[in-house]
Amino acid sequence: MKFCPACAQPVELKVPEGDHLPRYVCTACGTIHYENPRIIAGCVIEVDDGRILMCKRAIEPRHGFWTVPAGFMENGESVQQAAAREAMEEALAHVQIGTLLAIVSVLRAHQVHIMFRARLQPDRPDFGVGPESLETQLYAEEQIPWPEVAFLSVEFALRRYLADRRQGVEQVHLRTIDWREGKLVTVDG
């Protein structure tokens, strides 16, 4: 950030009085501009026969890799609404959002990924290819293309989902993904 969105004057990076982290502060009007993580909402969609609906990405990052429907939350919607909207946008799927599955903090990207369990709505079991997907596919657990899964957060959510399903439980799983000195560090909560 170089200029204040409130008054268009230059900003400087400094620790404001009473704070403990550097923030962009306007040199003219004194407005403090906070930069906070963005929320990604998504869902693991299971159909009646136990297969999982996945989408092949038509956009960057990770164009051509597989994921579950997920994307940036919009203002004015709940996390559950965002997850359902992403399912519609990416897979033309009408879903019933279920329980919370995973919260993954992706530190380097300044994001928090919130994943839910979901099912296709019984009266609308169809799905298709949305504008952000190259294709959609149903995968049995043993067919999931693990080496082609787009993101570590998606792999984590899928693996926890499948493990919970085998155990007959629905737990909430936490993970932090960080890169330190060029090395991947993951911490489960």
Express each pLDDT in 89-140 by its tens digit. 999 999 999 999 999 999 999 999 999 999 999 999 999 999 999 999 999 9
Specify whether the CB–CB gap between 91 and 53 falls below 8 A.
yes
Among 62, 60, 152, which residue's Cα sits nearest to residue 106?
A: 152
Q: What is the pLDDT of residue 187?
A: 85
38-188: CATH architecture:
Alpha-Beta Complex (3.90)
Instruction: Inform me whether the pLDDT recorded for 181 exceeds 80.
Output: no
Among 151, 173, 154, 138, which residue's Cα sits nearest to residue 63?
A: 151
* Cα–Cα dist 50/77, whole Å: 29
Look at domain 1-35 and name its CATH class: mainly beta
The pTM for the full model equals 0.89
Specify whether the CB–CB gap between 117 and 170 falls below 8 A.
yes
Q: Amino acid identity, residue 51?
A: R
Provide φ and ψ at 16, rounded to 5°. Answer: -65, 155
Ordered by start, the domain boundaries in the chain are 1-35, 38-188
Q: What is the pLDDT of residues 23-63, one digit of tens each?
A: 999 999 999 999 889 999 999 999 999 999 999 999 999 99
